Amino acid sequence: MRGFNKLIFNAPLALGYIAALTPSHWKIEVLDEQEINFENSIDRLSEYSNVDLVGITALTVTAPRAYEIAAFFKKRKIPVVMGGIHVSMMPDEALNFADCVVIGEPDSIWNDLIKDAENGNLKKKYTGEYLPLGGLVKPRRDIFGDYKAATVQTSRGCPMSCEFCSTVAFNGRVYRQRPVNDILDELESIPQKMTYFIDDNLIGHNKKDEERIISLCKGMIERKINKMWWCQATMSFGNNEELLYYARKSGCVCVLLGIESISEKVLRRMNKELNLKLDYRETINRIHKSGILVLGNILVGNDDDTKEVIEENIQFFKEVNIDAPGHVFVTPLPGTKFFERLDAENRIVNKNFPKDWKYYDLLHLVIKPNALSQKEIIDLKLLFYNNLFSYRQIIIRAFKSLIYSKKLYIGIGALLMNLWYRKFFHRYDSLIKEDE
């Protein structure tokens, strides 16, 4: 494993699955080049000029760099395969740079693609099927380096239809789940103590789904699988006290919740129906009482955002003590209903594709807001930062995190995370302010 960015915390699990699906007579090397600033030199790739096949996966924000890499290898007559969520949403764009593309999940077609590559007969497009997850191959972790945290996936797909989310377009509307024992077996084989469940929503969408995660937590306890883990979930995570109890007992330290906004009007327009049914304060208080920290994001720049709405969100984040508050611009990613709507309304500003995909990092405002000007929205994002990332607010949050968790190392971890957030958001908010 070669990592060009030493700051990346989690191993790229999708590449571990691809490696596991690849026949054993192929020698595999993974280059992890997750960079936001796209300043990696292309020259460092010259040592790979004699490989037989190059596979590249990319998010929307990393697509320009991915295309640059693809062009480098194509120029040397080396076949290039591209996949991942951005390529799946924009396959024809990607074919301008790659020999073939994989659309959707690769599990069902990767073996055929490799055979075609061996025969020099790659097709332009391979479209994956949504397979059941029972018996899913274990990702090859031997190809990874010294990542501090392991990544594990227990489910794919989502029946929801949030306007800004592309999960359904990529993984389908059916919520597919791995058997609990398969997950436990995999967890036992992972050396890292810190583990990130990368599911878009770990707990699923009904009581039966929640029971599966309770069984997983109980299994971790019974097998003495000693992990410190975190996850992403819907707000429902805080409404099941049995789930909270076993999650904490099995090692859960924090959960990332899709809060998005406390405005009912904003949530309705995003089609975030689940959030409308819940009491945010009670939900977050229950999670804190269980000893689990809450990471929460607010989306800034929604069609119904006003100065009053953002100020209400800021006050709410302070009162309920979101342990690590994120704030990003609402962004129309390809494959989403939000992209389709704003494109039809001619409200997407950065449209010089593929070059402008580099701005689709949720940290640049790439749309014309509805109720306010771009400058006003940017100023509101800065207002969020200034109110929640003063050193005083960070210390208050970290102290409360220590109280909730009753663990010194978690309190210290919350403090360090907030200091990193402060530096990270200050860097990008300052750059955005300078660009006005």
Mind listing the pLDDT tens digit for each residue in 166-175? 888 899 999 9
Per-residue pLDDT tens digits for 127-147? 999 999 998 999 999 888 778
Tell which residue, 122, 114, 150, 126, has the closest CA to residue 18. Answer: 114
Please state, in angstroms and rounded to a whole number, the distance separating the CA atoms of residues 255 and 249. 14
Q: What is the pLDDT of residue 7?
A: 43
Q: Comparing 309 with 148, which gets the higher pLDDT?
A: 309
Q: Check residue 428 and give its pLDDT.
A: 66
pLDDT at 274 over 90: no
Both structure tokens of 241 = 């006290």
pLDDT above 50 (res 3): no
* Residue 195 confidence (pLDDT): 95
pLDDT greater than 50 at residue 253:
yes
Does the pLDDT at position 9 exceed 90? no
pTM higher than 0.75 for the full model? yes
Cα–Cα distance, 330 to 365 (Å, whole number): 8
Nearest alpha-carbon partner for 335 in 175, 170, 106: 170
pLDDT digits (tens, 9 = 90+) for 354-364: 999 999 999 99
Looking at residue 78, what is its pLDDT?
Answer: 96
The confidence score (pLDDT) of residue 192 equals 92
In whole angstroms, what is the distance from residue 194 CA to residue 167 CA?
Answer: 25
Question: Based on C-alpha coordinates, what's the Rg of the chain?
Answer: 22
73-146-323 Cα angle (round to 5):
105
**pLDDT band at 258, cuts 50/70/90?**
confident
Inter-CA distances, 240 with 88, 116, 184, 278, 371, Å: 35, 49, 22, 12, 38
What is the per-residue pLDDT for 275? 87
Q: How far apart are CA 264 and CA 261, in angstroms?
A: 8
CA atoms of 248 and 268, how far apart (whole Å): 32
Look-up of token digits 């972790």: 141
The closest of 74, 70, 92, 87 to 128, measured between CA atoms, is 87
pLDDT tens digits, residue range 387-434?
999 999 999 999 999 999 999 999 999 999 999 989 888 776 655 554
Give residue 10's pLDDT: 73
What pLDDT was estimated at residue 435?
A: 52
Beta bridge partners of 213: none
Residue 84 has pLDDT above 90, yes or no: yes
Handedness of CA 357, 362, 366, 370 (dihedral sign): positive
For position 5, what pLDDT does the model report? Answer: 44
**Residue-level pLDDT at 32:** 79
H-only helix segments in 175-249: 180-188, 207-222, 241-249
How many angstroms separate the Cα of 225 from the Cα of each of 136, 141, 190, 249, 291? 21, 18, 10, 11, 19
- Domains along the sequence of the chain with CATH: 1-127 (3.40.50.280), 149-435 (3.80.30.20)
What percentage of the chain reaches a pLDDT higher than 90?
80
Tell me which of 22-36, 174-188, 336-350, 408-422 is least confident: 22-36
Give residue 6's pLDDT. 40
Provide the pLDDT for residue 429.
62
Assign residue 2 a region (left: φ > 0; alpha: ψ between -120 and 50; beta: otherwise): beta
- 367 DSSP 8-state letter: B
| 171-223 residue pLDDT tens | 999 999 999 999 999 999 999 999 999 999 999 989 999 999 999 999 999 99
Average pLDDT, the chain: 91
Q: What tokens were used for 374?
A: 């771009």
Percent of the chain past pLDDT 70, that is, above it, reads 94
Q: Bigger pLDDT: 52 or 40? A: 52
- For 257-279, what is the mean pLDDT? 91
Q: Would you say 347 and 371 are in contact if contact means Cβ atoms under 8 Å apart?
A: no
- Per-residue pLDDT reduced to its tens digit, 90-126: 999 999 999 999 999 999 999 999 999 999 999 999 9
pLDDT band at 35 (very low <50, low <70, confident <90, very high): very low
Residue with tokens 């949504």: 130
Whole-number pLDDT of residue 371: 85
pLDDT at 4: 38
pLDDT of residue 121: 96
Residue 95 makes CB contacts below 8 A (sequence gap 6+) with 101, 124, 125
The pair of three-digit structure tokens given for residue 90, joined into one six-digit string: 């924009």
Higher model confidence: residue 188 or residue 371?
188
pLDDT above 60 for 385: yes
Torsion of CA 346, 350, 354, 360, to 10 degrees: -110
